[in-house]
Amino acid sequence: MSEEYILIVDDNEDIRNLLGIYLEKEGYCHIRCDNALTALEMINKFSIILILLDVMLPKLDGINACIRFREKTNVPIIFLSAKTDDTDIVNALLSGGDDYVIKPFNPVQLMTRVKAQIRRFKQYNNAPVEKSHILYYEDIRINTETHQVWECGTEIGLTFKEYEILLLLLKNKNSVLSMKQIYEAVWHERFIGAENTVMMHIANLRKKLDRNKSRESYIKTVWGRGYKI
């Protein structure tokens, strides 16, 4: 099996070095890049299991880089940024990010997030096959063996968080799931101040599924209660 790497993408050498030290202490191999264009090349050459991505980057900023990364891989992407505005966080999550950590960050807490994201990603990719691995709902089809999703016959590229949310809603069809239920089932963490995280992933999932503007959204909002399919 090829060696797995965490990809560090940050134009600050001190931060790259600090992240490298902590990743090595946790036993992770890593690759350091000072710009996103070089990072895109690394994705094609190495087995990447997670990306630590700065927002403010030369040549290609982190938001647009994330969109480019998502064309190639569904590995977890954790944004690292000094930007604290809600709009910046929303844009990062909508571009395909799985988490957003504000600089200056606590290295120990960041490593905990890294390990959690990698653990869930590997569980997701090695999930046992269900007896009947094809799920249908209206024009949506899900293969739970390959984790592929189609809408009206067109394959839809979802991040693993988006896939897990969709699968959770379909398995609980017609039942309203609160944001707390969704977050704790998908992220496997306590629901503390995670409203924006759930909302942004739902918004991104809707955007990908609801390409046909003439039809009602697959995912319904039940105001004050949560979401359902």
Q: What per-residue confidence (pLDDT) applies to 213?
A: 62
- Kindly report, residue by residue over 25-37, the tens digit of the pLDDT: 999 999 999 999 9
Q: What per-residue confidence (pLDDT) applies to 1?
A: 36
Phi and psi angles of residue 32, each rounded to the nearest 5 degrees, phi first: -110, 130
Determine the average pLDDT of the residues in 187-214.
Answer: 87
Q: What per-residue confidence (pLDDT) applies to 148?
A: 87
Q: Out of 5-9, 110-114, 121-125, 221-225, which region has the weakest mean confidence (pLDDT)?
A: 121-125
Q: What percent of the chain has pLDDT over 90?
A: 59
CA distance 94 to 69: 13
Q: What is the residue extent of each domain of the chain? A: 4-125, 134-228
Determine the average pLDDT of the residues in 157-168.
Answer: 92
Task: Output the average pLDDT for the chain.
Answer: 89
Determine the average pLDDT of the residues in 98-115.
Answer: 94
- Kindly report, residue by residue over 17-26, the tens digit of the pLDDT: 999 999 999 9
Q: What per-residue confidence (pLDDT) applies to 130?
A: 44
CATH fold match for the domains 4-125 and 134-228: no
For domain 134-228, give the fold.
Arc Repressor Mutant, subunit A (1.10.10)
The answer, yes or no, to whether residue 13 has pLDDT greater than 50, is yes
Q: What per-residue confidence (pLDDT) applies to 151?
A: 85
Residue 38's CB is within 10 A of a number of other CB atoms, namely 15
222 or 123, which is more confident: 222
The answer, yes or no, to whether residue 166 has pLDDT greater than 90, is yes
Determine the average pLDDT of the residues in 191-203.
Answer: 90
Determine the average pLDDT of the residues in 131-140.
Answer: 76
- Kindly report, residue by residue over 65-86, the tens digit of the pLDDT: 999 998 888 899 999 999 999 8
CA nearest neighbour of 140 among 208, 195, 90, 214: 208
**Buried b or exposed e, range 146-164, using 16+ CB within 10 angstroms:** ebebebeeeebebbbbbbb
Give me the architecture of the 4-125 domain, per CATH. Answer: 3-Layer(aba) Sandwich (3.40)
Q: How confident is the model at residue 132 (pLDDT cuts 50, 70, 90)?
A: low
Which residue stretches of 126-178 are H helix?
160-171
Type of residue at 156: I
CA nearest neighbour of 80 among 60, 104, 64: 104
Determine the average pLDDT of the residues in 126-141.
Answer: 68
Residue 62's CB is within 10 A of a number of other CB atoms, namely 27
Q: What per-residue confidence (pLDDT) applies to 131?
A: 45
